[in-house]
Amino acid sequence: MALDYVSTSKKIVDAVGGAGNIASATNCMTRLRLVLNDEGKANDDAVKAIKGVKSVIKQGGQYQVVIGNEVSNLMKEFNKLGNFSEDAAPAAGKKPEGNPVQLLFGFVAGCLTPLLPAMLGTGMVKVLLTLLTTLNVMSATGPTYTILFSMADSFFYFLPVMLGWSIAKKTGHSVPLYMVIGALLVYPDFITLLGGAAEGAPYGTFLGQNCTYLFGFLPVIGASYSSSVLPMLLMTPVMAWAEDFADRVSPNVLKAFLKPMIFLLICTPVVTVALGPLGSVLGQLLSALTTLLYGTVPWLTVGLLSAAMPFIVMTGMHYALIPLFTNNIATLGYDVVVLVTMFCSNLCQGGASLGVAVKTKDVETKSEGIACGISAIVAGVTEPAMYGINMRFMKPMIAAVAGAGASGLLAGITGVKGYTMGGSPSIMSLITFIGGNDALGPFHSVIWGAVCAAVGLAVSFGLTLVLFKDETPAAEVNADGIAAANAAMAGEEHVKKVSAAPLEIDSPMTGTLVPMKDVPDEVFASGALGEGIAILPTDGKVVAPCDGVVAQMMDTRHAIGMVADNGVEILIHVGLDTVELHGAPFTYHVKADQEVKKGDLLLTADLDAVTKAGKKLYTPVIVTNSDDYTDITPVEGTEIKAGEKLMTVK
């Protein structure tokens, strides 16, 4: 069943503390990545219970909601529920949670995630060109190849520039200035200078390395920064400090040019003399370590990493491995640590999920197992299989890990290597294994990669059939062998309910009635948040429209939520975009979880202050769980007073 993006988005927003608690929102291939002002307001259990949500992960200051390969469609509706930035920081004073390693990996992943579309797209073009030239369909010296390869290789060549953009966006600093530092590292004359080919330039040695000199005395070691990520990542705290320092010391009248000049004059020596070379050395050490491990015990290295990869994915740290991949490709020409291990792991998650689909009698689980298995095997998107099926039943996860280990062992023994990034590793990414200049030939890794895939799928699928015990009660299976719908199943929507008696909801304010479709705000007018009616108030007092409990309060005090005694959920939102007023015109007169009676004063609003701030006074009164009821009928008329009948819910 297709996911209801509107309903799911609304439920997620509510469960994490409302739109006002979301500092920023973005997504990767499978996860909604939120930065919350206060993670304490998020109800993890409520988020996990939402249909379509596979899991919740808190990593590196992010609140990650795992959706699967439908997350990009969900994000379109999610963004309609608030003015969510992609790069805003959490509220002042809030420190990201997690240990230093988690925070570091979370930051690296956050910087590299926005670059994935370009990385995957250009990587696949390289794969296509490799295939066409290997099969002699296209000449590697022709203009078509040169143009396409230049486009595809440009991303990796100018990766420091791209990182400058994403780091600045992530940290909330100047994008152009950060990009300039990245551009310096790949500027042609700078590369020529470091290569020792600049005519008339002074050269010498420093720490046993060839170098030239900045300002005549600072040694600049020769290094290659094309396709590098570590120098820019190491420069992040320096660039942040330099921009803040330059801003403080620059007089306002001169700041337009003095601030960027100071920033660049500070960062250029640091990146060329210290952190750039340090990043290059660290990259070489990582490559040497990879070569050592892979050269000494390839079967154990790839096998263990393949088996461990699901747990790395669970932490959200798999994107933080991209620097290792790019470094290996740039220095070694191939990668096994990321491309091959994820290939083995992803396929086995799919194999285990398909095993559950074959073994179970429950029609819903069978359908989910097939969909999740295909998603993992064909698209490399494993979170639905991992969280929706394998972790849910546990024993299939054991089978998936065993299959990945077996597949990885064989891949290590036979020397399977990946030569470029081509999307999330899946059966389709076998073509990224084409390449290599050794005696084994360009198709060696493809052939053995296919064999490893078959072994991994066979082990994970077969072991799941042995280990997994279907617990679908016999009473839930009808004569045709089809499992009856089980509303208690994780992720299943609750059954639509009807009130025993209609509930009359009174008007919380005095003013003019406005049909919801006429409210000049698409989110409210579309009914995305639920059915109801709006009021153009003439009095700032907001009273309880029925007996119930105060269920939702905002730091910005511009809205309040109630749950009526019979379960009707009501939201009163005073004004449009009034969250931007940061609570100034509003005063609460109740507390969270307080029981109230019809007519009790909930909050007051300074309507004049709201109007002077340029905000419209339309106040939607919404039944946010409208789907639970068969009919919501607003009263007819134009004028209404607080306490008069506003709508009937039944």
User: Cβ distance 300 to 337 under 8 Å?
Assistant: no
Handedness of CA 187, 192, 194, 200 (dihedral sign): negative
Helices 175-185, 255-269: crossing angle, 10 deg rounding: 30
Residue indicated by tokens 């296509």:
128
Rounded-to-integer distance, Cα 650 and Cα 629, Å: 6
Rounded-to-integer distance, Cα 261 and Cα 267, Å: 10
Q: Tell me which amino acid residue 409 is.
A: L
Strands 31-36 and 639-640, sheet pairing: unpaired
Strands 559-564 and 511-515, sheet pairing: unpaired
Rounded-to-integer distance, Cα 99 and Cα 97, Å: 7
Spell out the residues 6+ positions from residue 591 whose beta carbon is closer than 8 angstroms to its own: 550, 553
3-state secondary structure 367-432: HHHHHHHHHHHHHCCCHHHHHHHHHHHCHHHHHHHHHHHHHHHHHHHHCCCECCCCCCCCHHHHHH
DSSP state of 174: -
Cβ neighbours of 179 (radius 10 Å): 20
Catalytic residues: 28, 573
b vs e for 303-330, b when ≥16 Cβ sit within 10 Å of the residue's Cβ? bbbbbbbbebbbbbbbbbbbbbbbbbbb
Strand partners, 513: 535
Strand partners, 521: none
Q: What six digits make up the tokens of 417?
A: 């290597």
User: Cβ distance 90 to 3 under 8 Å?
Assistant: no
DSSP state of 273: I
State the DSSP H helix or E strand holding residue 65, giving kind and residue range, or none if neither: strand 62-66
| Alpha carbon of residue 193 to chain centroid | 40
Rounded-to-integer distance, Cα 301 and Cα 383, Å: 24
